[in-house]
Amino acid sequence: MTFGSKQQRSADRERPVGRRGVLAASMALALSAWGGPALAQAQAGRKLRVTLNSVVHFDETTWARLVDKGPRPAAYIFTTTFCPNCPDAFEKLRTFVMDSHRPVELVVVLMDVDGPKALEHAHHYTGATRLYTFHGFEPAIRQSVDPKWPNVTPYMVLLGRDGSVQRSIGVPEPAMLKKWLP
């Protein structure tokens, strides 16, 4: 199937693009260059939010590795898909971090869903820098995080720049947050 003669196609390539074509090309270029982050930004004056698009497995060895060599400062919120208070608790923590104007790793760990299915719940945690899902035997993984954890969510662990570890069920108290991120 041909769409015009060779001479016709050659003439079409040499024809001036025109004002609309230039505007369309300019808009496409602008959107491809910065459209993703600009579209992710909510309203003017709001902070840039990151949308999660990948999931990392969290097993019995992950926590020790994160405490030993993970980013600092960091906040880990352990949650489940059915936790009604967890998105609000995460948002309060995220607001505190954004108001501090410091780079902080904000991590969500979903305990009851594994793999890519977790991305269906990521919209509850817009602004998180990483999404983990439990991969393995849940009680053993919880035990590796904190043997005293009573399996209540949201369970937050704050790792300070100095290596300090603070734990909280629910939103941490303001004094704890200020100690973690002075």
Tell me the one-letter amino acid at 88.
D
CB 89 within 8 A of CB 77: yes
Distance between start and end Cα atoms, the chain: 69
Answer yes or no: do 23 and 74 share one domain: no
Answer yes or no: do 37 and 65 share one domain: no
Answer yes or no: do 110 and 65 share one domain: yes
Three-state DSSP state, 21:
helix
Among the listed residues 156, 153, 122, the one whose alpha carbon sits nearest the alpha carbon of residue 49: 122
Answer yes or no: do 149 and 61 share one domain: yes
Answer yes or no: do 69 and 131 share one domain: yes
Answer yes or no: do 82 and 12 share one domain: no
In tens, the pLDDT along 23-38 reads 444 444 444 434 333 3
Give burial (CB, 10 Å; 0-12/13-18/19+) of 59.
middle
Number of domains composing the chain: 2
Residues spanned by the domain of 131? 52-180
Please state, in angstroms and as integers, the Cα–Cα distance from residue 158 to each residue in 105, 114, 117, 120, 168, following that order. Answer: 10, 23, 26, 25, 8
Separation of alpha carbons 60 and 74, rounded Å: 19
* Band (115; pLDDT cuts 50, 70, 90): confident
The continuous run of DSSP H or E covering 28 comes out as helix 19-40
Mean pLDDT of 142-160: 96
Residue scoring higher pLDDT (20 or 90)? 90
Answer yes or no: do 175 and 160 share one domain: yes
In tens, the pLDDT along 64-92 reads 999 999 999 999 999 999 999 999 999 99
CB 152 within 8 A of CB 130: no
Answer yes or no: do 12 and 86 share one domain: no
DSSP 8-state code for residue 138: H
Quote the pLDDT of residue 116.
86
Answer yes or no: do 58 and 37 share one domain: no
Answer yes or no: do 112 and 148 share one domain: yes
Answer yes or no: do 123 and 81 share one domain: yes
Answer yes or no: do 23 and 97 share one domain: no
Q: Domain ends where: 14, 30, 49? A: 49
Domain of 131, CATH number, reads 3.40.30.10
Tell me the one-letter amino acid at 141.
I
